[in-house]
Amino acid sequence: MQEVSINTPVEAITRQRRAFSTMRAATLSAYLEQQKQNISTPTLLSLNGWGDWLERKELPAVHLPHVLVPEAATTIMRSGGYWLCLGGVGIVINPGQEFLNRFHEAGLHMWDINHVIVTDSQKSSSIDLEPLWNFNREMNSLLKEWQLTPHTISYWLHPESFERYIPVLRPTSREERDSIHRLQPFPENNPFETVEFTPQLHLDFCATHAHTMVRLRSDEEQVGCLFHAPYEPLQTEFLSPCSLLLLGMGESTYEEISTLEPSENTLGLAGVAKILKGSSARLALISEQGFSEGDTRIESLKKLRTEIPSLPILPTEIGARYHLDSLSMSGPGVQTPIPIGAVRSMRRAGPFSELTFCDDVSIL
């Protein structure tokens, strides 16, 4: 009698599911056994840059709608986000698309994230927020099985982003029950609010229009961040004590650049200039610049440097790492950190291409 096979499709699928589950658990276990980086000095890592959409072979197809409709350009300038380490605390700012991939490519680990800040309501500033939450939840599930303390991340979200994500970011452990917060200022009492991360590290935040500017204060540094908000005098006052400023320029028109009169829609070059002239910063990093007037990144920063010659001003790019204690940087084109004053930035391959960096020694 011919033997009947019991290898049915359902049984085959079950075996594959078990194999996948085993592989998945082994991969996650190996990940959890990795060590935290333990970066002890103040450091800012840019995971945001122009390489997000700039494969040269796709240039005409990618750019045509945004050249014809410049106001649409800002929707593709937000990606990646930033990672900041102050006082040994890891802080993510605006985890946009590709944040998790770039974060791990930079050699960092979820252990290196203690807080996540989202400064505005645009979805592009928080695309990777939910994947980050889910990844940490899976980690904690395994840590619970191992009877270890879960890795808790605190989330500080712009009010509109809070409303968008609160149905998703649901605590799964007692340690997480107070981990999700709304960045809601109450200006009738004080122009800004303060939150204590640790006794040595504080978050100040203040609302301007639909955006929130933040200031992170440690015993070592003060770092101020503002992205794509129209200029207001309060910004200069709030950001003036910061030693490092990270500013998203947005769109700048030729008229605004010529007259240095602030735009009504974005910070622009004029708004950036007003903030920098009133600051005591040792370094200014300019990011998320629009291109309705073409690729004016280098030219705009040259203009800013003529207006504020005493302040080092640099663009950001994916993988650029700024060492705030030594005021040096490493990143694309620069493997060993070099002093900020010696950094030179250039387009890698013409207009709209990624930026790369080098120092005076590398230039003939």
Q: Is residue 260 helix, strand or coil?
A: coil
CATH architecture for residues 38-359: 4-Layer Sandwich (3.60)
Phi then psi for residue 205, to 5 deg, are -140, 150
pLDDT at residue 58, as a whole number: 44
- Region of poorest pLDDT, from 16-20, 224-228, 301-305: 16-20
d(CA 112, CA 124): 23
DSSP state, residue 263: P
Average pLDDT over residues 50-58: 48
Provide the greatest CA pair distance for the chain: 94
- Token couple for 94: 């605006």
pLDDT at residue 256, as a whole number: 85
Average pLDDT over residues 18-28: 80
- Tens of pLDDT along 61-91? 444 555 555 544 444 456 789 999 999 999 9
Q: How confident is the model at residue 180 (pLDDT cuts 50, 70, 90)?
A: very high
- Region of poorest pLDDT, from 72-86, 221-235, 244-258: 72-86
Q: How confident is the model at residue 14 (pLDDT cuts 50, 70, 90)?
A: confident
Tell me the whole-structure pTM to 2 decimals. 0.89
Which residue carries 């658990």 as its tokens? 25
Q: Are 329 and 343 in contact (CB under 8 A)?
A: yes
Phi then psi for residue 200, to 5 deg, are -105, 0
pLDDT at residue 51, as a whole number: 52
pLDDT at residue 165, as a whole number: 94
Q: Where exactly are the structural domains of the chain? A: 38-359
Torsion of CA 74, 77, 78, 83, to 10 degrees: -140
Query: Does pLDDT of 94 surpass 70?
Result: yes
For 275-286, letters b (16+ CB in 10 Å) and e give bbeebebebbbb
Tell me the one-letter amino acid at 220: E
Query: Does pLDDT of 2 surpass 70?
Result: no
> Higher confidence at residue 341 or residue 184?
341
Q: How confident is the model at residue 24 (pLDDT cuts 50, 70, 90)?
A: confident
- Token couple for 29: 């276990």
Q: How confident is the model at residue 57 (pLDDT cuts 50, 70, 90)?
A: very low
Query: Does pLDDT of 358 surpass 90?
Result: yes
With the C-alpha atoms ordered 87, 355, 107, 150, is the resulting torsion angle positive or negative? positive
Q: Is residue 97 helix, strand or coil?
A: coil
Query: Which of these, 262, 205, 256, lies nearest to 232 by C-alpha position?
Result: 262
Degrees, nearest 5: CA angle 278-197-326: 55
Q: Is residue 296 helix, strand or coil?
A: coil
Q: How confident is the model at residue 45 (pLDDT cuts 50, 70, 90)?
A: very high
Task: Kindly calculate the radius of gyration of the chain based on its CA atoms and give it in whole angstroms.
Answer: 23
Which residue carries 């390489």 as its tokens? 51
Query: Which of these, 54, 123, 51, 53, lies nearest to 94 by C-alpha position?
Result: 123
pLDDT at residue 157, as a whole number: 96
Query: Does pLDDT of 11 surpass 90?
Result: no
pLDDT at residue 146, as a whole number: 87
With the C-alpha atoms ordered 226, 229, 231, 233, is the resulting torsion angle positive or negative? negative
pLDDT at residue 60, as a whole number: 42
For residue 133, CA distances in Å to 37, 170, 270, 352 come to 20, 9, 37, 33
pLDDT at residue 189, as a whole number: 64
- Tens of pLDDT along 274-325? 999 999 999 999 998 887 788 888 999 999 999 999 999 999 999 999 999 9
Average pLDDT over residues 130-158: 92
pLDDT at residue 72, as a whole number: 46
**Residue 232 region by backbone torsions, left for phi larger than 0, else alpha for psi between -120 and 50, else beta:** beta
- Token couple for 345: 């930035």
